[in-house]
Amino acid sequence: MIDPLWLLLVGMIVVLGGILLLRLHAFLALILGALIVASLTAPAALEKFADAKGMTAKETTALVASSVGERVAQGFGRTCTKIGILIAMASIIGKFLLESGAAERIVRSLVRWLGEKRASHAFLSSGFLLGMPVFFDTVFYLMIPLGKAMGIRAHRKYGLYVMSIVAGATMTHSLVPPTPGPLFVAGELSVNMGLMIAGGIVVGLFTVSAGYLYALWANRKWTIPVRDTADTSVADLKSMAEKDEATLPPFWLSMLPIILPVLLIAGRTFFNSLAETQSPTTTTPWWQSIAVLINNLGNPNVALTISAGVALLTFACWHRDRRKNVTTFLQNALSSGGLIILITSAGGAFGGSLQQTGIGPRIQELATSHQMAVLPLAFFVAAVVRTAQGSATVAMITAVGILGGLAGGGQLGFNPLYLALAIGCGSKLFAWMNDSGFWVICKMSGMTEGETLKTCSTMMALMGIVGLLVIMILARLFPLV
């Protein structure tokens, strides 16, 4: 039987080599990696995997007898079941937040409340909030025009505004569902979604604070001017600050699609926790009826669907003259979401194939007496993959595929939430020329490649490292097991 570590190496070579050398799409590279690893996995390894999962004799026999294609397809299907609806709804939410003007309202309101002197705080806060349901690239596209307009008024702070936007949005993108990376990792590690949201926000606040401190220092060291870019000239920026806000929806309505799913999912977690106490109140019929309703509404699939409906209705009611565009916007949102579903599900198939090799127990053997070492290991794996191929989401998918087997059966000594968060923080190292997000920041902001590397890229790496340190401390003080 081939050592699982060798199969892990083969799988990583296939996936990374396919993406970097052969220029394969991530979906194809991940599926190819899953098929090759599955074909090299011995029946004895499958039997051990089945035994570790507590499968019956009949289920074990069926697994061993199944073909390579069947096992890969099953891994693909399991992942799609977990995240398919969630990613589709998150795509709809993000699209209609932008089209309705709700996202712009959030940014402008925070700037107005905090004042222009604290505009960087507004960008930081807005990025942090919008980074939960909206992809990082989209958040940056949304906020950078306002950052440029503010930079015209306070040109010495333009670099700070850009870094504040990046610092706010980049960590929630990798730590807080419903964005695909943390959504997928939480599902693979069986982390409660409400706990993942809460943990991601807590760690995110520490990392964002560290990133902002670096941004303040970097802004004093390097002054970055506002420059003409392909989409906007400096001459056009002055009029942006005077744009009529009457066309934008109110702040409470703009925030609703973001806050509502968080409240519903958190409410479900709260009610389920109370139900476990078996107190006299929680056993009454009226309480149980409410608990059933909250349990259904707080299911992430339902919560995100409701939120998507709210975002869509906000657009339809606030822009009645553009209702004819709803179908087109939905198709665009679902097209982009569908591609992400394919990639993440292929990542699930790859991860499932790796887990069936016995890689989890094998890595556990290497760190039997050093349980906390699993967290920096997860961080390192995600960091290596991110630096090698540029995608934070693919880095998280690959890392959880390698280390996901450690999460079951209480092997870690702490809640797998911390493993999920460590993977998310590791995916922040290191954004450079092979990362699409790097070019979005560079070209949309007007910064040079060197300026982007020493400001935003370095800041993200620092945030990831700080996040790991915070996670290790929290796992030691509050293991949650």
For residue 324, give the DSSP letter.
G
Q: In the structure encoding, which two tokens stand for residue 460, read together?
A: 């993200």
Q: Tell me the C-alpha distance between 204 and 285, whole Å.
A: 39
Is the Cβ–Cβ distance between 31 and 347 less than 8 Å? Answer: no
Q: Tell me the C-alpha distance between 335 and 317, whole Å.
A: 24
Query: Which residues are CB-neighbours of 324 under 8 A, at least 6 positions away?
Result: none
- What is the structure's pLDDT at 24? 80
Confidence band for 367, pLDDT divided at 50, 70 and 90 = very low
Q: Tell me the C-alpha distance between 377 and 354, whole Å.
A: 17
- The phi, psi pair for 291, rounded to 5°, reads -60, -40
Q: Tell me the C-alpha distance between 180 and 160, whole Å.
A: 28
- Torsion (CA) 175, 178, 184, 190 in degrees, nearest 10: 90
Query: Around Cβ 190, how many Cβ atoms within 10 Å?
Result: 12
Query: Which residues are CB-neighbours of 231 under 8 A, at least 6 positions away?
Result: 444
Q: Is 477 helix (H, G, I), strand (E, B) or coil?
A: helix
pLDDT at 407 over 70: no
Give the DSSP letter string of 413-427.
SS-HHHHHHHHHHHT
pLDDT at 241 over 60: no
328 vs 288, higher pLDDT: 328
pLDDT in tens, 5-55: 788 788 878 887 887 688 787 788 889 988 998 898 888 888 888 887 778
Average pLDDT of the chain to the nearest whole number: 81
C-alpha pair distances (Å), 299 with each of 86, 129, 273, 340: 10, 21, 15, 21
- What is the structure's pLDDT at 229? 62
For residue 54, give the DSSP letter.
T
Q: Tell me the C-alpha distance between 84 and 305, whole Å.
A: 12
Average pLDDT rounded to a whole number, residues 80-95 = 82
pLDDT in tens, 113-137: 877 778 888 889 888 887 877 677 7
Is the Cβ–Cβ distance between 481 and 410 less than 8 Å? Answer: yes
pTM metric for this prediction:
0.69
Is the Cβ–Cβ distance between 86 and 306 less than 8 Å? Answer: no
Confidence band for 368, pLDDT divided at 50, 70 and 90 = very low
Give the DSSP letter string of 162-203.
HHHHHHHHHHHHHHSTTSHHHHHHHHHTT--HHHHHHHHHHH
Lowest mean pLDDT among 80-94, 153-167, 238-252: 238-252
- What is the structure's pLDDT at 201? 94
Query: Around Cβ 141, how many Cβ atoms within 10 Å?
Result: 15
Lowest mean pLDDT among 105-114, 147-156, 230-239, 246-255: 230-239
pLDDT at 369 over 50: no
Nearest to 18 by CA among 442, 398, 401, 418: 398
Q: Is 363 helix (H, G, I), strand (E, B) or coil?
A: helix
pLDDT in tens, 187-205: 888 888 889 999 999 999 9
* Angle at the Cα of 472 from the Cα atoms of 471 and 475, rounded to 5 degrees: 85
Query: Which residues are CB-neighbours of 281 under 8 A, at least 6 positions away?
Result: 287
Confidence band for 278, pLDDT divided at 50, 70 and 90 = low
Is the Cβ–Cβ distance between 282 and 275 less than 8 Å? Answer: yes
Q: How many CA atoms lie within 13 A of 417 on its CB side?
A: 24
pLDDT at 461 over 50: yes
* Angle at the Cα of 353 from the Cα atoms of 348 and 354, rounded to 5 degrees: 100
Euclidean distance between the first and the last CA atom of the chain, given in angstroms as a whole number: 35
For residue 22, give the DSSP letter.
S
415 vs 287, higher pLDDT: 415
Nearest to 243 by CA among 425, 107, 411: 107
Q: In the structure encoding, which two tokens stand for residue 231, read together?
A: 């989409």
462 vs 339, higher pLDDT: 462
